[in-house]
């Protein structure tokens, strides 16, 4: 894992890492992940997103992840599959994935697919951080 310098204050940014589909800020033990794409539907982008999220857990050793969906307008079932795999990987490494700041319509998607049983979903980033 490439360890970034500890910058006083919040958030500490892992500026040494390069991602195309996500932005990552480390807050104590929790990696806060935001998304570059407003619409997460493109096959290639979803594949790249999955690889970058997996890298967080498997190569960088980040076990606690808070996915902040602020700014995301739309996501497909293929994107949901990426999140499911990430949760499985995080749990296998003794961690967990939580979700916050979902647009209400996307929150309904988690409800209709019952994935809200698999993910702890909070309305705000502050609430999401407090849940760890």
Partner 1 sequence: MGASSTPAWRLHRTIPSDTEVGSRLIDDLSMQMREHGWDERQIFQVQLAYEEAIVNAIRHGNRYSPEKTVEVVFICNSQQVRIEITDQGCGFDPGAVPDPTSDERLENPGGRGVLMIRECMSDVSYGKGGCQLTMVKDRSDLSIGHDDDQDDE
**CA dihedral sign of residues 3, 8, 10, 11:** negative
Q: Under the criterion CB under 8 A, does residue 2 sit at the interface with partner 1?
A: no
Give the residue, chosen from 22, 24, 56, 80, that forms a contact with partner 1 under the rule CB under 8 A: 80
23 exposure class (CB count in 10 Å sphere: 0-12, 13-18, 19+): middle
CB 100 within 8 A of CB 64: no
Q: How far is the CB of 131 from partner 1 (least distance, A)?
A: 8
Q: Which of 87, 11, 23 is nearest to 49 (CA)?
A: 23
Binding of residue 54 to partner 1 (CB under 8 A):
no
Residues 7, 16, 41, 92: which binds partner 1 (CB under 8 A)? Answer: 41
Q: How far is the CB of 62 from partner 1 (least distance, A)?
A: 21
Of positions 13, 36, 60, 74, contacts partner 1 by CB under 8 A:
74
């Amino acid at each position: 894992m490439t360890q970034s310098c500890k910058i006083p204050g919040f958030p500490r940014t892992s500026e040494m890492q390069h991602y195309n589909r996500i932005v990552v800020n480390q807050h104590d033990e929790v990696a806060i992940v935001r998304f570059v794409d407003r619409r997460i539907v493109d096959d290639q982008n979803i594949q790249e997103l999955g690889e970058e999220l997996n890298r967080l857990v498997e190569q960088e050793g980040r076990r606690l992840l808070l996915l902040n969906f602020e700014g995301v307008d739309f996501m497909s079932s293929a994107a949901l599959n990426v999140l499911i795999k990430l949760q499985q990987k995080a749990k296998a490494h003794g961690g967990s994935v939580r979700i916050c700041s979902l647009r209400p319509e996307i929150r309904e998607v988690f409800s209709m697919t019952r994935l809200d049983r698999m993910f702890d979903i909070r309305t705000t980033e502050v609430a999401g951080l407090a849940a760890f």
